[in-house]
Amino acid sequence: MGRLTTHVLDTSLGRPGAGVEVTVYRVGDTRVRVASAFTNADGRTDRPLLEGDAFTRGIYEIEFGAGAYFGRSGATLSDP
């Protein structure tokens, strides 16, 4: 079986995106949260978000807590 990982980079500052909440949803008839973690100092999660029997064929969405990350950094954010 495979595994699902991610790597968050803050390209505005040229460094890893540390402390970003990453949430994975499986999407079908409903949207179900299946994993959640925070990125470490390298911008990666300490463990794969999904692996083994938990990582089945399907459609997934990954949500990144970018607003909270940039809010903590003091960046001025636009309101879309």
**Does the residue 80 lie in any domain?**
no
Q: What is the pLDDT of residue 41?
A: 98
Structurally, the chain folds into a number of domains equal to 1
CATH number, residue 44: 2.60.40.180
**Does the residue 45 lie in any domain?**
yes
> Apex CA 25: angle with CA 23 and CA 28, to 5°?
170
Going from the C-alpha of 68 to that of each of 5, 36, 59, 79, the distances in angstroms are 21, 15, 26, 13
In this prediction, the residues of the chain whose per-residue pLDDT falls under 50 are none
Pairing of strands 15-16, 9-10: antiparallel
**Residue-number span of the structural domain to which 66 is assigned:** 3-72
**Does the residue 78 lie in any domain?**
no
Q: Do the beta carbons of residue 6 and residue 49 sit within 8 Å?
A: yes
**Does the residue 79 lie in any domain?**
no
Q: What is the pLDDT of residue 80?
A: 61
d(CA 56, CA 32): 14
Can you give the pTM of this predicted structure? 0.87
**Does the residue 77 lie in any domain?**
no
Q: What is the pLDDT of residue 78?
A: 72
